[in-house]
Amino acid sequence: MPVFPRRDDKNPRQATRPAPAELLLPDESRRLDQAAAEAGVSLERLMAAAGRAVARAAMRRWRPRPVVVLAGPGNNGGDGWVAARLLEEAGWPVAVAAFGMPPENSVAAEAAGRWRGVRVPFSPEAVGRAGLVIDALFGAGLSRDLPAEAEAVLRAIRAPILAVDVPSGLDGATGQVRGFAPEAAVTVALERARPGHVLLPGRDLCGALEVVELGFPPGLIEALRVRCWRNGPALWRLPVPGAAMHKHSRGHVVVAAGATMPGAARLAAAGARRAGAGLVTVAATTQGAAFLLRGVAEAGDIIADPPAEALVGGKGKVWVLGPGMVPDDRARDLLAKVMEAGDRLVVDAGGLTLCAGAPERLRGASIITPHGGEFGRVFGPLGDLAQTDKPEAARQAASLTGAVVVLKGSDTVVAAPDGRVAINSNAPPTLATAGSGDVLSGICGAMLGQGLEPFEAAAAAVWLHGAAAPTGAGVVAEDVAAGIPRAFAQWTETYA
């Protein structure tokens, strides 16, 4: 289980408690509804709450205007029928275009039965003159591709779309599009967000995400034992230096530099130093050390051509192996020696290339940080799975290697061998620049060195990296490392 922030109840800053971070899978959502029914909260009541939240979201964001509600055959449609009625009661002009009717005697059928207003055929013409379309066709658990008739109608929409649960066609578990899904202006998520709201391309299709509470009895979500979270301060605590600390108690990160790209090692070292590692050493070749020594302060200690034996082992040691590393014999030997010594280890870039097609070589690593290409090279068929289900691919890779897997991207997924998954969403596009991954591997090393367990270390590092990145033009990887103190401050002010 993640270590949740310890808080002092008498502290007024308690109010800044991070938002619930669980991401519910469709099956968990169904179990939740079932548990609610057993606890005396009916689906009818939940649907009424969902429909009311949707109507309120529309009224909060738009002035009265002609609304077309697209209502599907399931409970997502049910929420739509409720919202239609409430908007009409509030004086809005509303028409419902139904795509099939809910099964007789169902809760959704009852909601549809209460509609006395205008009905229009489900056709592209129906949405042509709308000022707002409420998409209540299908929810997050859609199990097949969107039907062609539904796609034709959704494609004809020119007005802003308010999506109920998800833009229809979006797979709530994976963030993938099943055939087609429209781009919403606002998505109202129910009780908790779903992985598909945070994973790409889903996140980009949801517009502004509003998570509304439906009134579930307390304790039911906890009882689900959710294993997937949105990455953020609810999952970990950043290490903050205490008065009694000294540099030797904050970890010793050794970055193994390659022979040809010492700049990458320098950035990893900068990331580790800014993220609080007590000591940072770059183990470089003679040639690399000469480059690093030319007026560059950020790398910390630099050792030229160190024998690996001299560096492995020792208390508090964490290796960052791979940034700028050429996968040669020297690198292979070093990886083997570090594994043998049982030191904690972050493997990135060239270190991953050493393990192409041989993920078993990573057994013993604490954290690995592949991007999609590296992931495919190491894990073969799991690379294809990562295209359609990133969390599942990362989870399987973690279970195969025993390492925490940081599968990078704008929606970086952090997966632990025990099945925990955190999906990150704070990374600005400026992180897509050479060297930014090197900074991340250094931050991972610093978090391990300061005592976080690997899953929390990796998730905290990924968040810190995103928060550290300046936005706007002209950002380079050095700026990300330089932004780390500001990111720490942001966390301290809001959550510590």
Ligand X SMILES: NC(=O)C1=CN([C@@H]2O[C@H](COP(=O)(O)OP(=O)(O)OC[C@H]3O[C@@H](n4cnc5c(N)ncnc54)[C@H](O)[C@@H]3O)[C@@H](O)[C@H]2O)[C@H](O)CC1
Q: Which residues are annotated as a binding site for (6S)-NADPHX?
A: 75-79, 139-145, 165, 264, 324, 371, 438
Say which entry of ligand X, K ion, none residue 47 contacts (CB below 5 to 8 A, set by partner kind).
Answer: ligand X
Handedness of CA 190, 193, 196, 197 (dihedral sign): positive
Cβ 406 vs Cβ 377: under 8 Å: no
Write out the binding residues for ligand X, residues 48-67 only, by CB under 6 A.
50
CA angle 131, 135, 137 (to 5 degrees): 145
Say which entry of ligand X, K ion, none residue 135 contacts (CB below 5 to 8 A, set by partner kind).
Answer: K ion
CA distance 246 to 128: 67
Pairing of strands 413-415, 404-407: antiparallel
To K ion, the closest distance from the beta carbon of 20 in angstroms equals: 22
Q: Which is nearer to K ion, 134 or 443 (CB)?
A: 134
CA distance 380 to 393: 11
List, as residue ranges, the binding site for K(+).
Answer: 76, 135, 168
> How does 286-306 read in b/e, with b if 16+ C-beta sit within 10 Å?
eebbebbeeeeebbbebebeb
Size of the site for ligand X (CB under 6 A): 27
List of residues 6+ apart from 178 with CB closer than 8 A? 142, 144, 145, 146, 169, 170, 171
Closest CA to 409 of 436, 447, 382, 442: 436
Query: Backbone phi, then psi, for 133, in 5-degree steps?
Result: -115, 130
Cβ 147 vs Cβ 138: under 8 Å: no
Say which entry of ligand X, K ion, none residue 190 contacts (CB below 5 to 8 A, set by partner kind).
Answer: ligand X
List of residues 6+ apart from 223 with CB closer than 8 A? 35
Write out the binding residues for K ion, residues 153-172 only, by CB under 5 A.
163-164, 168
| Residue 178 buriedness (CB in 10 A; 0-12 / 13-18 / 19+) | middle
210 strand-pairing partners: 188
Q: Which is nearer to ligand X, 32 or 280 (CB)?
A: 32
Q: Which is nearer to ligand X, 33 or 348 (CB)?
A: 33
Cβ 68 vs Cβ 126: under 8 Å: yes
Q: Which is nearer to K ion, 189 or 440 (CB)?
A: 189
Candidate residues 23, 32, 318, 403; the one interacting with ligand X per rule CB under 6 A = 32
To ligand X, the closest distance from the beta carbon of 185 in angstroms equals: 18
Site string for ligand X, 371-400 (x = CB under 6 A): ------------------------------
Site string for ligand X, 12-31 (x = CB under 6 A): -----------------x--
To ligand X, the closest distance from the beta carbon of 235 in angstroms equals: 23
Say which entry of ligand X, K ion, none residue 141 contacts (CB below 5 to 8 A, set by partner kind).
Answer: ligand X
Q: How far is CA 225 from the centre of its chain?
A: 18
DSSP 170: B
Q: Can you give the C-alpha Rg of the chain in angstroms?
A: 26
From 93-101, 131-139, 338-346, 375-383, span contacting K ion (CB under 5 A): 131-139
Asked whether position 76 contacts ligand X by CB under 6 A, the answer is yes
Site string for ligand X, 133-172 (x = CB under 6 A): -----xxxxxxx--x----------------xx-------
To ligand X, the closest distance from the beta carbon of 254 in angstroms equals: 48
Say which entry of K ion, ligand X, none residue 162 contacts (CB below 5 to 8 A, set by partner kind).
Answer: none
Q: Which is nearer to ligand X, 178 or 237 (CB)?
A: 178
Pairing of strands 208-212, 228-230: unpaired
To K ion, the closest distance from the beta carbon of 148 in angstroms equals: 17
Q: 3-state class of 344 per DSSP? A: strand
Write out the binding residues for ligand X, residues 332-371 only, by CB under 6 A.
none
283 strand-pairing partners: 256, 303
From 71-79, 195-203, 282-290, 334-342, span contacting ligand X (CB under 6 A): 71-79
Which residues sit at the interface with ligand X, rule CB under 6 A? 29, 32-33, 46-47, 50, 72-79, 138-144, 147, 164-165, 190-191, 214
Which residues sit at the interface with K ion, rule CB under 5 A? 135, 163-164, 168
